[in-house]
């Protein structure tokens, strides 16, 4: 029986990814990011663009560490176009996983993670509440006034 608990062993059908939303929290060495083919500000019918949400806003740090996931979703292509969407930065080095979970849920709720500022002081307590009560809610946040999306596009060599 295959091991479906790791992204490396999951049986992807890259063609079906063009027809459905994909949101994945991915481990990037000692950091967590979100990889998705969905961006709430678009009305595209085919999901063949890829976006990354990173609470450090430092794509040079993590891109080499998520190539394993990107190889899976690229359908065997050597290159993939990635859009790094700028999000609010975390203030320490230990909350990236909670930020990534928040970004993933925001995407699933059709909210652009770039317009959110999570209340980092409440993240851990709210995550514990989610686990203890078996409920799901978006972490406490505020919205950026007059939000204008900022992003950087990359063409990444997957070799």
> How is residue 109 annotated by DSSP?
T
Q: What is the pLDDT of residue 152?
A: 93
Q: What is the pLDDT of residues 110-124, one digit of tens each?
A: 999 999 999 999 999
Mean residue pLDDT across the chain: 86
3-state secondary structure 24-79: EEEECCCCEEEEECCCCCCCCCCCCCEEEECCCCCHHHHHHHHHHHHHHHCCCCCE
Enter the pTM of the model: 0.87
Q: What is the pLDDT of residues 74-99, one digit of tens each?
A: 878 899 999 999 998 999 889 999 99
Percentage of residues in the chain with pLDDT exceeding 70? 86
Domain boundaries, the chain: 14-157
Q: How confident is the model at residue 4 (pLDDT cuts 50, 70, 90)?
A: very low
Report the C-alpha gap between 99 and 123 in whole angstroms.
8
Contact partners, residue 122, CB within 8 Å, separation at least 6: 139, 140
Residue 43 pLDDT exceeds 70? no
The DSSP element (H or E) to which 157 belongs, if any, is strand 151-157
Angle, alpha carbons 49-96-27 (nearest 5°): 60
Q: What is the pLDDT of residue 27?
A: 87
Residue 141 DSSP SS3: strand
Residue 12 pLDDT exceeds 80? no
């Amino acid at each position: 029986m295959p091991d479906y608990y790791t992204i490396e062993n999951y049986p992807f059908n890259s063609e079906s990814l063009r027809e459905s939303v994909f949101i994945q929290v991915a481990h990037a060495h000692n950091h967590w990011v979100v990889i998705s083919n969905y961006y709430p500000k678009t009305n595209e019918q085919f999901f063949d663009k890829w976006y990354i949400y990173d609470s450090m806003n430092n794509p040079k740090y993590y891109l080499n560490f998520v190539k394993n996931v990107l190889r899976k979703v690229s359908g065997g292509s050597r290159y993939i176009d990635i859009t790094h969407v700028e999000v609010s930065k975390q203030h320490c080095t230990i909350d990236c996983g909670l930020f990534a979970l928040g970004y993933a849920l925001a995407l699933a709720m059709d909210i652009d993670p770039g317009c959110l500022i999570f209340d980092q002081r409440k993240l851990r307590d709210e995550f514990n509440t989610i686990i203890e009560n078996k409920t799901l809610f978006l972490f406490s946040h505020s919205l950026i006034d007059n939000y204008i999306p900022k992003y950087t596009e990359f063409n990444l060599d997957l070799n």
